[in-house]
Structure formats: structure tokens, C-alpha cells
Amino acid sequence: GQNIDQPTEMTATEGAIVQINCTYQTSGFNGLFWYQQHAGEAPTFLSYNVLDGLEEKGRFSSFLSRSKGYSYLLLKELQMKDSASYLCAVVAGANNLFFGTGTRLTVIP
């Protein structure tokens, strides 16, 4: 089976840095995605990691440690529009994508 854990909610201040953690236990691990989902909207792709290390993409970075079953999403220079849910999703097998329940981030002024 698959088990994916993320904090339910986080709050951070505009302009700050926030790290959203994700731990997972899965068989047939084949990569990890982060998606952003604004309230009432569809999830949108942010990042993908399959090898250990950090992937940087503008204000967003994602890190993976396969041996520890751990990933994090780092958001820098937070903006109000970053208030959303952030979904960690693990690829198990060929194309099966298993999502965590998401972390709802609130950015405050």
C-alpha cells in the first residue's frame, strides 16, 4: 500500500520562506510530484523529483531523499497569491499517482 503524510495546515508571512514536508512509504517508487491547488480550482504541476537532491525553479524548489522517504517543497519570497493547498504525489509503478491529502498554506501580510 501507499502512505503519504503532509501537515494539514501552515501559515507564513508575506516575503518569508516556508518549507512544506512530505514523507511517504510506498512500493515501486518511481518519482514524486508537487502540485498546487487554489480553492475551487484544478491542481497544477509545480515540480518533479526522481533522483536525490534539490530541483530549483524560480521561487520554488523541491528536494527528495529516496532513502529517507522524504521530500520538501520550499517557497521563497512568499506572495499572497501563494495561499493554496500543496499536494505531494508519489508515482508507484508505471503511472499510478498517489496523492497526499495536501497542506493548506495561508500567507498573511
User: Would you tell me which residues interact with other proteins (CB under 8 A)?
Assistant: 30-31, 33, 41-45, 48, 50, 87, 89, 91, 94-102
The grid cell for 9 is 495546515
Q: In the complex with other proteins, which residue's Cβ is closer, 20 or 91?
A: 91
Supply the minimum distance, in Å, between the C-beta of residue 26 and other proteins. 13
User: CB-wise, 39 or 81, nearer to other proteins?
Assistant: 39
Q: How far is residue 51's CA from residue 55's CA, in Å, rounded to a whole number? A: 10
Give me the residue label for grid cell 521563497. Answer: 76
The least distance separating other proteins from the CB of residue 79, rounded to whole angstroms, comes to 22
Q: Which is nearer to other proteins, 78 or 89 (CB)?
A: 89
